[in-house]
Amino acid sequence: MKKLFAIFSLMILAVSCAPQVEQTENKLPWENGKLVVSENGRFLQHENGTPFFWLGETGWLLPERLTREEAIYYLDACEKAGFNVVQVQTINGVPATNAYGKLSHPNGYDFSQIDAEGENGYWQNMDYLMEEAGKRGIYIGMVCIWGGLVKKGLMNPEQAKAYGEFLANRYKDTPNVIWFIGGDIKGDVETESWVTLARTIKSIDKNHLMTFHPFGRTSSVRWFHDAEWLDFNMFQSGHRRYDQTRGDGDDTAQASVAEDNWRYVEEGLALEPQKPILDGEPSYEEIPQGLHDPSEPWWKSWDVRRYAYWSVFAGSFGHTYGHNSIMQMHKGGEKPGGYGAIKSWKEGLEDPGFSQMQYLKKLILAFPFFERVGDQSVIAGEHGFRYDRAIATRGEDYLLVYTYTNKPMQIDLQKISGEKKNVWWYSPVDGSLKYVGEVENGIHEFQAEGEVGPANDHVLIAVDASKNYICKEQLSL
């Protein structure tokens, strides 16, 4: 085996020689047709075949806490950072109250009469958010009602039917809607209400996809994989580290693999029929490990990068990022927000993880999209345990391997076509490339320059030398 190091200088991965995705800077995504599941059952695409890589941002309390001016500031930041989905709690109370003091349910618990209009009315304001997100090419993932509210008895099946009719009739013709049933809850809690809500919306709205947002360390595959209304699976890998449990469904086995979100992807894609899957709530940047105790260490940008690359390289069709202050739209000040949040949501937008997610999206879209699979056989040696785990994804003529700790990796270049391969290192931190060189076929050991240990993450790229997805001529020597 030959050990190969990066030898040339940096360049941002911005343009490949043969772009795989139609350039759509001046075209809204849904102009390519509505979102549908790909023919192979593993990805999302538009009706005209354009790939859709889900890069989500978690803005749970956007509808409740931000004024219109603040919402524009937030959505502009999301667009600049490459996010194409924002996940929100449509209502986080019965009634919920927006930044203007307007109620979602002016008649209390009456779900059949919730449409109160007027200046900055709750649903009028929601319409505004949908429209402004749409101008920026951003889908809104609408968690219809947070799970805890239903668990408390604030929406029964009859009310779910009325609410589903209201939502579906209001937004069925809005192009940038994705429906979320559930909301941080297990599917066996108030199941009839969730199924009623889902089926009611689907009976009216034939244009938009639907999923279920589950409780931490669970996946929708557990309850709803075969449901006719579930278009793609979602799991919440959660906010706890390997040694943390809370007695809320955890067991020793779960705790021992708590941070291995790639396991949920493998579990979901092993089922028939195949449905796309992604991590809809991993650990948030700047949130305490374990969630509830601010004295614990806090998850950082390198942690959210690890979750993203582990999940996508295992085979998920995208990823959702979150930040403690942003998800609750904390205004800052002396009083901490939920889960110990100190920074304001605007300060959170400046944290590194928020802008680093776009490099994963750019990387995946630089290569043939629909043939990509997770394939650990690419790694000829040890895959690694916990943080040392290397994870591989490939197409027919390219492969990508992510390492979080920069330990040496034995990579089998014979897993893709070509007698020779061009090889690069790619940085998840800033999207830069280093060209390693042209490498003969076979098994080789690779290690990037730099230290070995957590947060020294890199992506190895190897491409059939006859292909031009990335041109070595584009690299400055």
The strand pairing partners of 462, in sequence order, are 399, 423
Which one-letter amino acid corresponds to residue 346? K
Q: Is 365 helix (H, G, I), strand (E, B) or coil?
A: helix
Q: Is the pLDDT of residue 17 over 60?
A: no
> pLDDT by residue (tens digit) across 267-299?
999 999 999 999 999 999 999 999 899 999 999
Provide the pLDDT confidence category of residue 247 given band limits of 50, 70 and 90.
Answer: low
Tokens of 227: 């449901």
3-15+372-474, CATH topology level: Immunoglobulin-like (2.60.40)
pLDDT of residue 241: 87
pLDDT of residue 223: 97
Could you give the residue range(s) of every CATH 3.20.20.80 domain in the chain? 29-365
Q: What is the Cα–Cα distance from 64 to 432, expressed in whole angstroms?
A: 38
Q: 94 Cβ partners below 8 Å, 6+ apart?
A: 104, 105, 108, 109, 145, 149, 154, 155
pLDDT of residue 382: 85
**Model's pTM, two decimal places?**
0.92
Which one-letter amino acid corresponds to residue 60? W
Average pLDDT, the chain: 90
Mean pLDDT of 112-139: 91
Could you give the residue range(s) of every CATH 2.60.40 domain in the chain? 3-15+372-474
Q: What is the Cα–Cα distance from 308 to 143, expressed in whole angstroms?
A: 21
Radius of gyration of the chain (CA): 22
> pLDDT by residue (tens digit) across 370-421?
999 999 999 998 887 898 899 999 999 999 999 999 999 999 999 999 999 9
Tokens of 69: 């001016």
Provide the pLDDT confidence category of residue 248 given band limits of 50, 70 and 90.
Answer: low
Rounded alpha-carbon distances, angstroms, from residue 254 to 107, 216, 218: 43, 11, 10
CATH code given to domain 29-365: 3.20.20.80
Q: Is the pLDDT of residue 29 over 90?
A: yes
